[in-house]
């Protein structure tokens, strides 16, 4: 059962799609205060588990830390970080009772889940203007499914998007992309997508293509299609300020950019230099920006990734003015100040003075800047910081709504960096700028079921790691998790070690691991479609399936996938295997590098499994089976006639039937 409570005058985020009457009275679950800001506090029993929060740091059980919903462009996902790129305000308190709570609030919201006091959950925000949805269910799993029912069906990508994709920030031109394509095709490593990062554009201008680098873009896109390669360009939120650039000029003329209080267009620097931000909260501006995707779709493009849409700000005009002022003030008075502070002339010359440094440090993604611009919401000016977490959501909504008009009969691949619940109807997400760290394989795994609870099914991380130099073993281990994530993409930052699969020794190992993905695509796609069309989860924590088994509930490095599978990837350096916990008897399956399949029934309980770097493990639940096919070089080339079942003999697999 779902109850909706209202406090003050909430902003309509349109996260929930089912109209519902508000329940009068107070929420019985805990103590609510709505006088000075909002806070909800309740007691947690020792064994209560808190699920949810989608793209958030730390464990599947969120207990024991503090998380802040505040979409942030922060590429350093260390354990102490409280905010990442998304804001997914749904939690499940699971214990004797199972209660879901969705705090529909578009600005900064804090979840103190046993951080201040171990037994206390407090959810708070500055303004008491929000909806709270409270869901009562039989189990955590049941609560998650009820929640999914009220937020609308998850985005479904085209089938090719279940293939493998290669990306790297730095591919400049046709030659660079050709090198990637032949690196894969010539080595028979399956691939379906090559991603185009910002360098394909003319001076980082959205919806443009650099004509020197891609002299005949539609022809090139077509040439790639003939090789079963889809090119997937990036679109950034900021629109470059440049005379003669039609999107900039139109946006200014029609008033579609975010404005300062005085009505002038807000100016901030991102990759193109000075930009304006489209006002995605204004339906007209949304429609206008969305219609621009047609330019690339007409050139044959059938997928995009939306980036920098927190929105990321390198610095604003106001920030730079403040910095210049501080430098000027300092230079004018420097001699006096310096002699007071230190008598070491050499040190003085090398150091940036504190008063200048503090301004420099606050230039990027500054909360002050988020208070400097406004959205036009049905004629009312709404300050950005009050609706900050809706920006990326509405950028992707602009695209999703436009695709329905531009190509109503076609599915377009779309995923975003920033998101809010509701965006899951228009696209998937990737988890942003991770690092080539072993701990980030595990973080990737833990985020997946939490994201599914919040509706985001088409998701994945930058495999191999975005920042830092990667290593061969790390890429292989991460790919062996990526085999199972709907979005399977290898992506890396400019200047890092090249990590395309053909850059390493013994390429056959990569060929094999990615090949396993293609062998499993009919199964993975079918389970994805079931999850999407039935508002169900593709990835589940073990506790959703075995809630009575405490050991299963506490297992956070294994996941249930679909109805038949459990995954347990290796995520530690130099390990030749790992410990697993089986909540029931299962069949251990390993895809061996020679193409054979190792199968062994294992009893419920603890086991150590050997998994070499070039093997892909999974478990099939007792009495179940799954379909596999022969390896293909692209999704298009999968030969369904090669399908056979693996798992328990005599079992049957209920496939998703496409209507």
Q: Does 307 bind ligand GLC (CB under 6 A)?
A: yes
Q: Does 290 bind ligand GLC (CB under 6 A)?
A: no
Q: Does 310 bind ligand GLC (CB under 6 A)?
A: no
**Shortest distance, position 378 Cβ to ligand GLC, whole Å:** 32
**Shortest distance, position 542 Cβ to ligand GLC, whole Å:** 31
Handedness of CA 249, 254, 257, 259 (dihedral sign): positive
Contact 421, 455 (CB under 8 A): yes
Question: Residue 126 or residue 176: which is nearer to ligand GLC going by CB?
Answer: 176
Helices of type H across 239-344: 246-254, 283-291, 293-298, 317-341
Question: Residue 462 or residue 535: which is nearer to ligand GLC going by CB?
Answer: 462
Length of the chain: 659
**Shortest distance, position 467 Cβ to ligand GLC, whole Å:** 9
∠439-440-445 over CA atoms, to 5°? 105
Contact 168, 465 (CB under 8 A): no
Work out which of 52, 86, 432, 541 binds ligand GLC, going by CB under 6 A.
432
What are the structure tokens assigned to 432, written together?
């942003």
Q: Does 547 bind ligand GLC (CB under 6 A)?
A: no
Work out which of 286, 372, 417, 517 binds ligand GLC, going by CB under 6 A.
417
Question: Residue 432 or residue 465: which is nearer to ligand GLC going by CB?
Answer: 432
Q: Does 615 bind ligand GLC (CB under 6 A)?
A: no
**Shortest distance, position 462 Cβ to ligand GLC, whole Å:** 7
**Shortest distance, position 171 Cβ to ligand GLC, whole Å:** 10
Q: Count Cα neighbours of 231 within 13 Å in the Cβ-side half-sphere.
A: 31
**Shortest distance, position 169 Cβ to ligand GLC, whole Å:** 4
**Shortest distance, position 432 Cβ to ligand GLC, whole Å:** 5
Checking DSSP bridges between strand 273-276 and strand 380-383, what pairing results, if any?
A: unpaired
**Shortest distance, position 343 Cβ to ligand GLC, whole Å:** 43
Mention every residue, 6+ apart, whose C-beta is less than 8 A from residue 462.
167, 430, 431, 432, 433, 434, 489, 490, 491, 492
For residues 491 and 166, what is the distance between their CA atoms, to the nearest angstrom? 6
Give the DSSP letter of residue 139. S
Q: Does 54 bind ligand GLC (CB under 6 A)?
A: no
Q: Does 433 bind ligand GLC (CB under 6 A)?
A: yes
Mask of contacts with ligand GLC, 213-252, x by CB under 6 A?
---------------------x------------------
Question: Residue 125 or residue 313: which is nearer to ligand GLC going by CB?
Answer: 313
Give the DSSP letter of residue 446. H
647: enclosing H helix or E strand: strand 644-647
Work out which of 55, 74, 192, 197 binds ligand GLC, going by CB under 6 A.
197
Question: Residue 131 or residue 271: which is nearer to ligand GLC going by CB?
Answer: 271
Q: Does 210 bind ligand GLC (CB under 6 A)?
A: no
Q: Does 206 bind ligand GLC (CB under 6 A)?
A: no
Q: Does 365 bind ligand GLC (CB under 6 A)?
A: no
Question: Residue 199 or residue 584: which is nearer to ligand GLC going by CB?
Answer: 199
Contact 239, 265 (CB under 8 A): no
Question: Residue 168 or residue 621: which is nearer to ligand GLC going by CB?
Answer: 168
Q: Does 448 bind ligand GLC (CB under 6 A)?
A: no
Q: Does 302 bind ligand GLC (CB under 6 A)?
A: no
Question: Residue 127 or residue 491: which is nearer to ligand GLC going by CB?
Answer: 491
Question: Residue 112 or residue 433: which is nearer to ligand GLC going by CB?
Answer: 433
Handedness of CA 617, 618, 619, 623 (dihedral sign): negative
Question: Residue 279 or residue 433: which is nearer to ligand GLC going by CB?
Answer: 433
Would you call 79 exposed, middle or buried from its count of C-beta atoms within 10 A (0-12, 13-18, 19+)?
A: exposed
Question: Residue 124 or residue 365: which is nearer to ligand GLC going by CB?
Answer: 365
With CB atoms as reference, the residue minimizing the distance to ligand GLC is 169
Question: Residue 65 or residue 304: which is nearer to ligand GLC going by CB?
Answer: 304
Question: Residue 417 or residue 424: which is nearer to ligand GLC going by CB?
Answer: 417
Q: Does 292 bind ligand GLC (CB under 6 A)?
A: no
For residues 651 and 208, what is the distance between their CA atoms, to the nearest angstrom? 53
Helical pair 391-406 and 283-291, crossing angle rounded to 10 deg: 60
Using CB under 6 A, which residues numbered 371 to 390 contact ligand GLC?
A: none
Q: How far apart are the first and last CA of the chain?
A: 29
Contact 52, 88 (CB under 8 A): yes
Q: Does 208 bind ligand GLC (CB under 6 A)?
A: no
Contact 489, 570 (CB under 8 A): no
Question: Residue 197 or residue 557: which is nearer to ligand GLC going by CB?
Answer: 197
| DSSP codes, 43-73 | E--TT-EEEE-SS-SS-SS-TTEEEEE----
**Shortest distance, position 181 Cβ to ligand GLC, whole Å:** 19
Work out which of 115, 169, 330, 437 binds ligand GLC, going by CB under 6 A.
169
**Shortest distance, position 17 Cβ to ligand GLC, whole Å:** 29
Q: Does 198 bind ligand GLC (CB under 6 A)?
A: yes
Mention every residue, 6+ apart, whose C-beta is less than 8 A from residue 447.
54, 55, 56, 431, 459, 461
Nearest to 514 by CA among 492, 491, 483, 487: 483
Nearest to 656 by CA among 541, 503, 525: 525
Q: Does 77 bind ligand GLC (CB under 6 A)?
A: no
Mask of contacts with ligand GLC, 479-518, x by CB under 6 A?
------------x---------------------------
* Cα distances (angstroms) measured from residue 325 to each of 335, 352, 356, 359, 606: 17, 15, 9, 10, 64
The alpha carbon of residue 35 and the mean position of all alpha carbons in its chain are separated, in whole angstroms, by 35
For residues 382 and 451, what is the distance between their CA atoms, to the nearest angstrom? 29
Question: Residue 307 or residue 557: which is nearer to ligand GLC going by CB?
Answer: 307
What are the structure tokens assigned to 569, written together?
């990837």
User: By CB under 6 A, how many residues form the interface with ligand GLC?
Assistant: 9
Region of 52 (left: φ > 0; alpha: ψ -120 to 50; beta: rest) is left
Which residues contribute to the site for ligand GLC (CB under 6 A)?
A: 169, 197-198, 234, 307, 417, 432-433, 491
């Amino acid at each position: 059962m779902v109850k909706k409570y209202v406090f003050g005058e909430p902003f309509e985020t349109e996260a929930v799609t089912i109209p519902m009457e508000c329940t009068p009275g107070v929420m019985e679950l805990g103590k609510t205060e709505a006088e000075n800001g909002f806070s909800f506090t309740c007691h947690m029993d020792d064994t209560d588990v808190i699920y949810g929060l989608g793209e958030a740091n730390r464990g599947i059980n969120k207990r024991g830390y503090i998380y802040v919903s505040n979409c942030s462009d922060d590429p350093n996902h260390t354990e102490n970080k409280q905010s990442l790129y998304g804001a997914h305000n749904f939690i499940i308190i699971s214990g004797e009772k199972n209660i879901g709570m969705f705090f529909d609030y578009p600005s900064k919201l804090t979840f103190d889940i046993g951080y201040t006091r171990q037994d206390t959950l407090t959810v708070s925000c500055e303004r008491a203007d929000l909806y709270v949805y409270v869901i009562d269910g039989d189990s955590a799993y049941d609560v998650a499914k009820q929640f999914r029912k009220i937020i609308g069906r998850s985005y479904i990508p085209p089938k090719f998007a279940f293939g493998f994709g290669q990306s790297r920030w730095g591919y400049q031109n046709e030659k660079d992309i050709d090198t990637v394509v032949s690196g894969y095709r010539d080595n028979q490593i399956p691939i379906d997508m090559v991603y185009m990062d910002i360098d394909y554009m003319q001076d980082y201008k959205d919806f443009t293509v650099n004509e020197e680098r891609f002299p005949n873009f539609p022809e090139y896109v077509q040439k790639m299609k003939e090789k079963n390669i889809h090119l997937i360009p990036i679109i950034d939120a900021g629109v470059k300020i440049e005379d003669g650039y039609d999107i900039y000029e139109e946006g200014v003329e029609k008033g579609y950019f975010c404005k300062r209080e005085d009505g002038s267009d807000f100016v901030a620097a991102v990759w193109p230099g000075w930009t304006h931000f489209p006002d995605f909260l204004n339906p007209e501006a949304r429609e206008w920006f969305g219609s621009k995707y047609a330019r690339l779709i007409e050139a044959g493009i059938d997928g995009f990734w939306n980036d920098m849409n927190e929105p990321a700000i390198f610095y604003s005009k106001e920030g730079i003015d403040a910095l210049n002022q501080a430098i000027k003030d300092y230079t004018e008075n420097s001699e006096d100040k310096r002699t007071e502070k230190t008598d070491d002339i050499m040190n003085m010359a090398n150091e940036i003075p504190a008063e200048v440094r503090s301004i420099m440090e606050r230039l990027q993604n500054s909360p002050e800047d988020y208070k400097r611009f406004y959205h036009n919401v049905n004629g009312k000016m709404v300050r950005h910081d009050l609706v900050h977490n809706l920006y990326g959501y509405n950028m992707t909504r602009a695209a999703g709504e436009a695709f329905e008009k531009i190509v109503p009969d076609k599915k377009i691949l779309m995923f975003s960096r920033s998101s809010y619940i509701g965006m899951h109807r228009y696209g998937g997400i990737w988890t942003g700028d991770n690092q080539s760290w072993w701990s980030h394989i595990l973080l990737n795994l833990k985020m997946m079921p939490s994201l599914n609870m919040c509706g985001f099914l088409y998701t994945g991380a930058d495999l191999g790691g975005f920042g830092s130099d990667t290593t061969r073993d790390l890429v292989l281990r991460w790919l062996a998790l990526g085999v199972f994530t709907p979005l399977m993409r290898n992506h890396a930052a400019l200047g890092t070690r090249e990590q395309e699969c053909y850059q390493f020794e013994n390429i056959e190992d990569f060929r094999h691991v990615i090949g396993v993905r293609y062998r499993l695509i009919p199964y993975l796609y079918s389970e994805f479609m079931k999850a999407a069309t039935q508002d169900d989860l593709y990835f589940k924590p073990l506790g959703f399936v075995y809630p009575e088994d405490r050991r299963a509930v506490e297992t956070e490095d294994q996941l249930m996938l679909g109805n038949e599978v459990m995954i347990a990837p290796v995520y530690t350096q130099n390990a030749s295997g790992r410990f697993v916990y089986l909540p029931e008897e299962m069949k251990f399956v390993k895809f061996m590098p020679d193409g054979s399949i190792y199968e062994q029934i294992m009893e419920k309980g603890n086991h150590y499994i050997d998994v070499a770097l070039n093997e892909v493990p999974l478990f099939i639940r007792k009495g179940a089976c799954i379909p596999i096919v022969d390896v293909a070089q692209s999704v298009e080339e999968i030969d369904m006639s090669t399908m056979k079942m693996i798992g328990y003999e005599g079992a049957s697999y209920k496939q998703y039937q496409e209507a």
